[in-house]
Amino acid sequence: MYLSIFLELLGGYLLLFVVVKLLGKTQISQISPFDFISALVMGELVGSAIYDPEAGFGMIVTGVLIWGALIYLTELVTQKSRKLRFTLEGRPAVIINKGKLDWKEMKRNHLDLDQLQQLLRSKDIFALKDVEYAILENNGAVSVLRKTEADQATCGDLNIQGKERILPYTVISDGVVLKDNLQNAGVSQEWLQHQLKTKGYDRLEEISYAEYEPGDDLYIQTY
């Protein structure tokens, strides 16, 4: 029994290795959701067949080869047809356009503000106001083009003393005031309401996002 399991695992390992090599090289960070699911299914085919007493090595080979062939054909089709490529792999979505959040694209891609901020922080961007364009790629990563004023030469380049950096605080998210962040930023809810009225906003419901960096102006995005 143990020898049989060993042989099936070894055969499945070699078969998967060959199939992956035939399908081509793709970095983990670049795989699309379809690629990820395909890899899971292929691994599950081998795992289930190995521990199924009624399944032999022939079933493992058949299952992996059929699934590998389907993936290979899909790759060929997407290389030949741009329309089918968009249908099967999706297309990049511009979620920040000229500094403005595109809520339709965010909703279509099931992306909320917290997730967007996390993606931006992974690109060393901690303030939404610094972003001119942000594109959500097919693999779930985000590509960012900073605003010109936020993409300046470093203090080291200019040989000057830089000022202390302060993290911006999200004070409104999806129309809700984040009181803890207001307190951490050293301002009150009354101050926030006054700032909003000064800028012509009377209702919180029309504010999708607002951030405040101490010493700077309040940055606001609407729906």
CATH fold of 166-222: CRO Repressor (3.30.240)
- Give the domain ranges of the chain: 2-88, 93-150, 166-222
pLDDT (0 to 100) of residue 137: 87
CATH fold of 93-150: CRO Repressor (3.30.240)
The answer to whether domain 93-150 and domain 166-222 are alike in fold is yes
Provide the token pair at 70. Answer: 């389907």
pLDDT by position in tens, the chain (length 223): 567 666 666 666 666 667 666 655 454 455 566 666 666 776 676 666 666 666 666 776 777 777 777 777 877 777 777 677 667 667 889 999 999 999 999 988 888 999 999 999 999 899 999 999 999 987 788 999 998 876 666 555 566 665 566 788 999 998 899 999 999 899 999 999 999 999 999 888 889 999 998 888 899 998 8
